Amino acid sequence: MNRMIAVGFAAWLLSACHHDNPLQTHTKTESATFLMNASANAEKRLQFAVKKDERGYGYLECMEGQKNMEINCNALYQAMILFAREGHYKGFDSITLAQLTDKRILNDLSDDYFEVMTSTWPTYY
């Protein structure tokens, strides 16, 4: 009996420490919109030499492993996390670096991400 209580308590502790990735708990369109705007705002704040009509593509370039001398991917990711913590997009404020850079999730969002990128201008805060 004590063993079952210990196992149950351990399972509870593990689940209490687990946080769902906000990129998976929102709709794909919401997640893609957040990623584009977080990237665009981070690029602008970091003053990356990116054409105005190409803002928001930095995240995609970094995630795909493209080498762009104008973009420091680590700085971009950190700036995107700081942007998320500002609370402009409800539910994304707790995103972590591991969640932001999970390539499986980007693969799952890719169609929606491209749709948002081609049909929406970034919103700057």
Between CA 75 and CA 51 the distance in angstroms is 18
Please state, rounded to an integer, the average pLDDT across all residues of the chain: 86
Is 8 inside any structural domain?
A: no
Given pLDDT bands bounded at 50, 70 and 90, which one contains residue 4?
low
Domain extent at residue 58: 21-119
What separation, in Å, do the N-terminal and C-terminal C-alpha atoms of the chain show? Answer: 55
Given pLDDT bands bounded at 50, 70 and 90, which one contains residue 12?
very low
- The predicted pLDDT at position 99 comes to 97
Is 7 inside any structural domain?
A: no
Is 58 inside any structural domain?
A: yes
Is 26 inside any structural domain?
A: yes
Is 44 inside any structural domain?
A: yes
Instruction: Tell me how many domains the chain contains.
Output: 1
Burial annotation 84-106 (CB, 10 A radius, 16+ → b, else e): beeeebeebeebeeebbbbeebb
- The predicted pLDDT at position 104 comes to 95
Is 6 inside any structural domain?
A: no
Is 5 inside any structural domain?
A: no
Reported pTM: 0.81
Percent of the chain with pLDDT over 90: 60
Tens of pLDDT, residue by residue over 17-52, are: 456 999 999 999 999 999 999 999 999 999 987 776
In this model, does residue 101 exceed pLDDT 80? yes
Helical (H) or strand (E) element with 65: none
Is 16 inside any structural domain?
A: no
